[in-house]
Amino acid sequence: MRPRSPLPARVARRLVPAALLAVALPATAACAVGPERATPVGVVAAPSAGPVTGSPTAGPSPTARPSPAVPAKVPETLSFSAKTLDGTTFSAAALAGRPVVLWFWAPWCATCASQAWTVAEIAPRYRDSVPIVGVAGLGQQQAMKDFVAEFDLAGTPQLDDRAGALWRRFEVVEQSTFLIIDRDGRVVHQGFLDGESLTRQVETLARG
């Protein structure tokens, strides 16, 4: 049998790259992954044990919301409404949770007039901490309005109680009467107070 003659050099040079390509193709096919699992170049894949903290797919951390303020329980003593001398609706329930001073006065009362200056002075100062509310009765509406204007009492609510509903509710039988309700709704004073005593009482309530 005649021995085979060696391949020409140019043919051998062409077969070597083809053989290398044939070997590389199966290896490439074995390493290929689907597009959904491919890892981008330069990005380290997250371990399968769990999600990477702070990854873009993680949802935002929940933000704590402040609890809404719980309204104060309205005591029986403040469960009433009325009209002010200027026609505005007044609800005493809005004052729940604070000490309140109710001042029962009449427009013709000389004692009420002497106390009006003190009320006009301290009521705006303690409007938010110890509200003072006037309850006008035993007189005509115009006379009540004149009294408020004369003593500069417009800075604090003045209720029109010509019918005497609130006077009867709190069993007030004379003027001038101060009725003091603490922050729990209890009546802690009912009766006369001069200007100095009223100021001291209101200051004490404001500090408490």
pTM beyond cutoff 0.85: no
Top pLDDT among 161 and 57 is at: 161
Average pLDDT over residues 40-69: 45
Q: What's the confidence (pLDDT) of residue 208?
A: 83
- Phi and psi at 191, nearest 5°, equal 155, -160
In the chain, helix, strand, coil percent, each to 5? 35, 15, 50
pLDDT at 155: 86
Mean pLDDT (the chain) is 78
> What whole-number percentage of the chain has pLDDT above 90?
64
- β-bridge mates for residue 84, sequence order: 159
Domain range summary for the chain, segments of one domain joined by +: 76-207
Q: What is the CATH number of domain 76-207?
A: 3.40.30.10
Query: Would you tell me how many other CB atoms lie within 10 Å of the CB of residue 124?
Result: 13
Residue 174: which of 108, 110, 105, 107 has the closest Cα?
A: 105
- Per-residue model confidence (pLDDT) at position 70: 56
9-27, pLDDT tens digit by residue?
443 444 344 343 333 333 3
**pLDDT, tens digit (0-9, with 9 covering 90-100), for 125-135:** 999 999 999 99
More confident residue, 143 or 39: 143
